[in-house]
Structures are given as structure tokens and as C-alpha cells.
Amino acid sequence: MAAKGKILIVDDDPDFVKTTKMILMTDGYEILTASDGKEGLKMLRETKPDLVMLDIMMESLFEGFSFLGTLRTSPDFEELKGTPILMVSSVKTDTGSRFSFGYEEDMGDIPEPDEYMDKPLKPKELLERVARLVGKGK
């Protein structure tokens, strides 16, 4: 049976990656992983996934935003810049507030992800959003 789509998870939390990978694989997706933005961009170019799940805070506080900015604006990623991005973060759990994207306020020059979810993720909601985004990217 062919996979529903190929998803690249870029996150430095091995427990999150393991759990999310299991949820998505059980639903029929092929999963690739990278533990930081640099490795993620390399894998993105090599594997051309249908969706990237991207953590905001990895080695640096804004590594996810840097990844997103590079993908959306660098000429080196022109053919991939339309790849859907589902940004995920535990910032709300950690701080009680969350990053706002264009929905609530202007983020200036920072590109927006296609969707955003707070960690911990709810499996049913995750699968619904992933299905919608993978369909968007094809």
C-alpha cells in the first residue's frame, strides 16, 4: 500500500518525534525526521516531503522561524517554497502564552506557517490538519 504522503518532522525533542511519528505512521504516512533546522533543510531538499512539521524552539529560540524564512524566501529553495508547514511549539505550555501569526497581529517580515498547533498535540486534530495540508501540497 502506498503511503498517504511523506512528512518531515523537524524537532529536537526525541519523545515528541517518537510519539508523533507513531501516530502518523499508524495512519499511513511515511515519516522522515531531523533534529535541527540545518539538517531539516538538507533533508527537505533531498526528499521533497509533502508536509513539514516544524518546531519553533530548537537549538535557538527562533530556529523554526529561521527555517521557515529560508524555505519561503531563499532562491536555493524556490521549487520547494510552497511546501506546507505545520508549525508546532510548547511555548504556550511553557509560558502560558503563544506566538501569534498573521491571524492576530502582523509578524512583519517573518513568513507565516500554513498552520500552527500547540504541544501537546491531540492525535485526532493532528491527523485532520495533516490530511488537509498534505492534500494542499499535492
Q: Sketch out the chain's domains with CATH numbers.
A: 7-94+106-137 (3.40.50.2300)
> From CA 128, how far away is CA 107, in angstroms rounded?
26
For the whole model, what pTM was predicted?
Answer: 0.87
Q: Which three cell numbers stand for residue 5?
A: 504522503
pLDDT at 109: 65
Give the mean pLDDT per block of 10 residues along the chain (138 residues). Answer: 89 97 97 97 97 92 91 95 94 49 50 91 96 82
pLDDT at 30: 97
In angstroms, how far apart are the furthest CA atoms of the chain?
44
Alpha carbons within 13 angstroms on the beta-carbon side of residue 137 total: 25
pLDDT at 62: 85
CA distance from start to end of the chain: 18
